[in-house]
A and B are shown apart, each in its own frame.
Chain A
Amino acid sequence: MSKGFLEIENLSQRFPQPDSNEPMTVFEGVDVTINKGEFVCLIGHSGCGKSTILNVLAGLATPTDGNVIMDNKEITGPSLDQGVIFQNHSLLPWLSARDNVMFAVRARWPHWNKAKRREHAERYLHMVGLDDAMDRKPSQLSGGMRQRVGIARAFAIEPKLLLMDEPFGALDALTRGVIQEELLKIWSETHQTVFMITHDVDEAILLADRVLLMTNGPHAQVAESVKIDIPRPRERANLHQQEAYYPIRNHLVDFLVNGAKEMSARAQAAAARGDDPRHSPRVVNPGKRESHPEPGPRMVRAV
């Protein structure tokens, strides 16, 4: 296996169950590699442990087994190297938009003076189009603007890895579209490594270089790594005119509707037999016609 920027190795999460001695296995044996500058989306049904994986990457949760290595260092706790954007903006409500970003900048570069912090914060707020709203408190901002402040705050600390947990889940469709494009813009300027959880297939296709697909829990696995073979810069308006768009979209939807459940049943049977659950996601590229895989059930590779 080639050494990537971020190595997730044999990651497993089990929780004790109140009514049995057997722990509940949320996911197990997850091996994933993410390269520097890559934008990776993770899709899966509710309860498969997506957020747990993200919290492990953020250092906010400790996995039962396995470890995560970023830039040759193991992640053992939260740090400024991992920026996190949560679904519910999580801005500090007593600070203005500018002060919220400056709060993060100060944590990152404590020796900077106030003018420098302010300038840095305002640059990122400008990138997300909030020039006129910097002095407002979060309660005076719309849901979309709050999420923009959250994005500016996360990008402003220039983390090695940016983690997003369904950042646009609480927004209406129109706002979501606008902010997705802003996110694309700011990402193309900074080329952050991004790991993002989403429920929205179209969002994943628009944003990601690669989409990781998770089977249903318990014993969830990261079954596939789907390459999004659509050239950048991408635009929402003409995304569906791209040749690769529909094959990719069909593949993702098919997985979520059928594959996730069937593969989950197989993984649970394998776990019952006691097979080694460690696995790497199968690499697929539905956008390339010749490698278009047959829809329907397929074996999960056990390493």
Chain B
Amino acid sequence: MLSNLNFRATVLSLVMLVVFLGVWQLATAPEALVPHQGELSEYEQLMGAGTDRSSSSGIPAPTQVFSHAFSELSNPFYDAGPNDKGIGIQLAYSVYRVLLGFALAALIAVPLGFVIGMSPLLNKAFDPYIQILKPISPLAWMPLALFVIRDSNMSAIFVIFICSIWPMLVNTSYGVASVRNDWLNVAKTHQLSNLRTAFTVILPAAAPTILTGMRISIGIAWLVIVAAEMLVGGTGIGYYIWNEWNNLDLASVIFAIIMIGIIGFLLDASLAQATKFVRYAD
């Protein structure tokens, strides 16, 4: 059993986790309290130094984080007013924004990428705009979006839309443009109509590349939503983190960080699973 690679990797992962949590616990334990010299600065006072907190650094111990996580997760959907909602509600808002923005982007990027990929003329004509628009940080659009849309929730969705569109557009047009000539010749010699060629030859041939673009997009969208929600406020995991930071509730912040990682992983894994269905060995 020790020769099994998966088993050994699992054991190693668990060892790393235990060591990390152990170091964290020790570093934040009350014994590690360093005697403080001199007067406290205003910042240190704000951070709770010198008070009765159990930790020298203000960072909660893993046990505190876990007990907090347990209480949050045991009632994830409570709603006690605008500044006190369960983690499940906050995450649901974020996932909803990401999926909506992502879906709108896919709705435009995939057909447009298809057309750009099929036409060398459009490919060249669109290229300069794509190259310039692609590297713009999606948050740079936020003021413009807020001014034009005049709705913070829709602006956040627009930011997700604008950041997800580029990887899908670029990958779709690349995937469509690099469909092997042999396969196009097969379509031609079988007298397929353009529409049939698009759906029965080009789409399956380019599908793995298109889905890779979608996977990149949803990853970026999940990165961006946190920052976007910190800006627009109201709801969402990004707002939640910022709110808890203002409350100096670092246990909640750390818990939220972990939840962001887990949800991001699930989004990526679901698209990886979808890629499996369309992948083919050449």
Contact = CB atoms under 8 A, between A and B. Distances in A.
B281 interface: yes
B188 A78 contact: yes
Interface in B243-282: 278, 280-282
A92 interface: yes
B42 interface: no
A167 to B, nearest CB: 13
15 contacts: A58-B189, A59-B189, A60-B188, A86-B185, A90-B185, A90-B186, A92-B183, A92-B186, A92-B205, A94-B204, A94-B205, A103-B200, A107-B192, A137-B280, A139-B281
A155 to B, nearest CB: 14
B201 interface: yes
Contact of B185 (A79, A84, A107, A139): A84
Contacts of A92: 183, 186, 201, 204-205
Interface residues of B, number: 17
Q: Is the interface of A mostly helix, strand, loop or mixed?
A: loop
B36 interface: no
Nearest to B185: A60
Interface in A73-125: 77-80, 82-84, 86, 88, 90, 92-94, 103-104, 107-108
A18 B182 CA distance: 27
Nearest to A58: B189
Interface string B170-206: 0000000000001101101111100000001100110
Contact of B191 (A79, A90, A103, A140): A79
A84 B191 CA distance: 12
| Interface residues of chain B: helix, strand, loop or mixed (majority) | helix
A157 interface: yes
A200 to B, nearest CB: 22
Given A94-B205, A94-B280, A139-B281, A157 B186 contact: no
B187 to A, nearest CB: 9
Contacts of B201: 92
A235 to B, nearest CB: 32
A77 B182 CA distance: 16
Given A92-B204, A94-B204, A103-B200, A78 B191 contact: yes
B182 A139 contact: no
Contacts of B280: 93-94, 137, 139
Interface of B: 182-183, 185-186, 188-192, 200-201, 204-205, 278, 280-282
A66 B48 CA distance: 92
B191 A80 contact: yes
Contact of A88 (B182, B188, B189, B190): B182
A172 B70 CA distance: 65
B257 to A, nearest CB: 40
B190 A157 contact: yes
A79 B190 CA distance: 6
Nearest first, the 6 A-B pairs at minimum CB distance are: A139-B281, A90-B182, A107-B190, A94-B280, A78-B188, A78-B189
B282 A139 contact: yes
B189 A82 contact: yes
A87 to B, nearest CB: 10
Contacts of A139: 280-282
Given A60-B188, A92-B183, A107-B192, 15 more contacts: A77-B188, A78-B185, A78-B188, A79-B189, A80-B189, A80-B191, A82-B189, A90-B185, A93-B280, A93-B281, A94-B205, A103-B190, A107-B191, A137-B281, A139-B281
Given A92-B201, A137-B281, A139-B281, A104 B185 contact: no
Interface in A49-87: 58-60, 77-80, 82-84, 86
B173 to A, nearest CB: 20
Contacts of A104: 190
Interface string A121-148: 0000000000000000101100000000
A92 B200 CA distance: 10
B189 A83 contact: yes
Contacts of A157: 190
A237 to B, nearest CB: 34
